[in-house]
Structure 1
Amino acid sequence: MPRRLTALLLSLCALAGCGVQTEGRAAAPGAGPSPEASARTVGRAEAAQAFELLRRLDDAWRDRDCAAVERLTAWAESTLGGRACEATRNGRPAPARKEYSDPEFFLPATAGDDRWFAALAREPGPAYFLFVHQGDHWRLAAGPVPVDGGDAPEPVADPDGGAAASAVPGDDPSTGVRARLVPQRYLTYLTDPAGVSGVRFAKGDAAADLLKELGERPGRVRPDRLTADVRLVVGPQRALALPEGGALVFHALEIEYRQRPGAGRSTLAHPIYGRDDLRGFTGGARAAELTGTEILLAVTEVTARGRLSTVAFRRALAELSTG
């Protein structure tokens, strides 16, 4: 399948701290962090309070309050809340959002200037969330990212009963290097249909299914012409250590689809996006050509031997134009 690969530089931001505290499941949010807690570390009460912003974000989507969506999101979620939120004002349905609860928090013991934490919500189904402190408040950077298939892997346990997981420093000579290369290896796999790079995912993995789709989709829309450009979403890398030298990596990619009419046609025969998307993003129900950008959120496990598997996966349309 013809594909134009746009290379973006992956921001290799060293992850703050090596210890991560786990605070178990969330209780009701407290009154907010104390002056001491607001220094650099993230405590359980602060994480629980930050997790509550999901309700405010749900309200913002329901009310089509795009300014609030922007204020409560960062990184990949901010991209998904931009034009996509504006499209809901033109009749595109707002994303169906579940009320997630029963979270387990993974909290960096020291965070430096990069304050973040991850959460794994158990109800109504396991899903990962990534929160970052940006400006003067917490924002949702990624989530929900539903667990794909089996159980979510357990981070490294502290035999002394202290930290339940550790953040992986990006400059660590072993695990850190493997974790840092995960987004690029994921990208390489999706842009290498012949498999010459040697990057592998098991059959049934979300990445393998997506690679298959990228190869088959152009044939399904003929006589239209369809090309795809897969890129990394640049941003700080964050990962949690897993047993036996593995890591759980949070990352994101984007796919830009370009669909054009076949020879002798002035309109598309098989638009890959539906009328609600077309009307919401473009204002019309038909188009002579389309350019759509989808964001892919992934939580990927890399083992000590470098084997990759997609643990959690979510995909959403972020932009659609007729040019």
Structure 2
Amino acid sequence: MLRTITTLGLGLVLLAGCGTEGVRETPAGPGDTSPPTVEVTTAEAQAAFDGLGDLAGAWRDQDCAKIEYLTTGVESTIGGRVCAAAREGLAVPGRPAYRDPEFLLPARQEGEDGAWFAVLARKPKPVYLVFVRADGRWRLAAGPIPVVGEAPGVEGEVTDAAADPEAAVGARLAPTRHVAFLTDPAGVNGKGVSGVRFASGDPMRGLLAELVGAPGRARPDHLSADVRIEGPARALALPGGGSLVFHALRVVFTQKPGSGRSSLAHPRYRAADVRAFTGGTPKSVTGSEILVLATKVAKDNTMTTVGLRRVLADLTADSGEGSG
């Protein structure tokens, strides 16, 4: 089950002086071979959310070790290379102070490490954040994920998608179905062979059009694109059916000069960004862009993007190439 906790409810908890309370562990009963379960407390969720200020400060100070300490999952993957590049001049957006949180707390999870919860912070602009407990502490695993359109409601008690047979399959397959859609050129016209559909105006439709058209726009350079799943997905079952899935994709672009050329005619990435990541000016570049997503999967498995963040996570020179 999940509990949604608003700021009003949190105020009552904090007035009780429970700001540092940890997860509650429920041991297995006599003769029960099931592992003990844990339940995330509202006070601990609030404390983890409040820790975002420390993470914002670490990004401001380009403190890569602290960013690594405070993050896990896709945020750790992004932070490692981006922080190092920021020290070499890569421009990194500042992080605002998020507030007005609504907490989504999966109850009675098995094992303390790996426990997770999500937050919908409504101000200054709505974003999702996903926290995971790793090595005995809460770390930001995904986010901020700016909300696209209207966030689906998860009022009252709902079930973790992994424990809901009707929601589990659609939630589990969401990342794979994204890859199928984004690697199907015929899907640009809504007639793809993958069988996966997104409504007109969904950001995935625009991304597919970009991927299909990118090689032509780059000519005479040679440009290729690949889409991969990045890390695990976590999902909440929605009260009316379906699920809300938090997951990530990695889009990899490789660009090389055309025949007879020694440099790129239409570089995809700015020279300053390439230099910040690679330390030079390689002729051929591979760029990794990570999409951090919140996807609503309906009961009929129709998918809608409800949250999206796109980050340039790495740039590398092709193997064997030196810096110019």
**What is the TM-score normalised by the length of structure 2?**
0.87
| Larger helix percent | 2
Match of 1:20 in 2: 2
Match of 2:20 in 1: 32
Q: 1:294 to 1:280 in 2, by over 3 A?
A: same
Q: Deviations over 1:94-149 (max 9, x none)?
A: 2332221111000011111231100000001111000000001110000000011x
Q: 1:144 to 1:265 in 2, by over 3 A?
A: same
Taking the aligned partners of 2:86 and 2:183, their CA distance within structure 1 comes to 32
CA RMSD of superposed structures (Å): 1.8
Match of 1:12 in 2: none
Q: Deviations over 1:74-95 (max 9, x none)?
A: 1110111011110011111223
Q: Which consecutive unaligned segments of at least 5 residues does structure 1 have?
A: 1-18
Match of 1:221 in 2: 218
Task: Check if 1:173 corresponds to 2:161.
Answer: no
Aligned-partner SS, 1:32: coil
Q: Which consecutive unaligned segments of at least 5 residues does structure 2 have?
A: 27-36, 187-191, 319-324
Task: Check if 1:196 corresponds to 2:193.
Answer: yes
Match of 1:56 in 2: 54
Aligned-partner SS, 1:306: coil
Taking the aligned partners of 1:119 and 1:300, their CA distance within structure 2 comes to 15
Aligned-partner SS, 1:264: coil
Choose from 248, 261, 264 the match for 1:268. Answer: 264
Q: Are 2:174 and 2:245, in contact at CA under 8 Å, matched by a contact in 1?
A: yes
Match of 2:316 in 1: 321
The aligned amino acid for 1:282 is T
**What is the TM-score normalised by the length of structure 1?**
0.87
Taking the aligned partners of 2:81 and 2:24, their CA distance within structure 1 comes to 39
Q: Deviations over 1:155-190 (max 9, x none)?
A: 1x44xxxx3x331126x4321111111111111100
Q: Are 2:146 and 2:307, in contact at CA under 8 Å, matched by a contact in 1?
A: yes
Q: Deviations over 1:4-32 (max 9, x none)?
A: xxxxxxxxxxxxxxx01122125569531
Q: Highest CA radius of gyration, 1 or 2? A: 2
Task: Check if 1:279 corresponds to 2:267.
Answer: no
Q: Offset at 1:243? A: 3.1
Match of 2:126 in 1: 126
Work out the percentage of aligned pairs sharing the same amino acid: 49
Task: Check if 1:300 corresponds to 2:295.
Answer: yes
The aligned amino acid for 1:127 is V
Q: 1:36 to 1:142 in 2, by over 3 A?
A: closer
Match of 2:97 in 1: 99
Aligned-partner SS, 1:82: helix
- Number of equivalenced pairs: 295
Taking the aligned partners of 1:85 and 1:35, their CA distance within structure 2 comes to 31
Q: Deviations over 1:301-322 (max 9, x none)?
A: 1111111110000110111012
Q: 1:244 to 1:36 in 2, by over 3 A?
A: closer
Q: Are 1:93 and 1:276, in contact at CA under 8 Å, matched by a contact in 2?
A: no
Aligned-partner SS, 1:234: coil
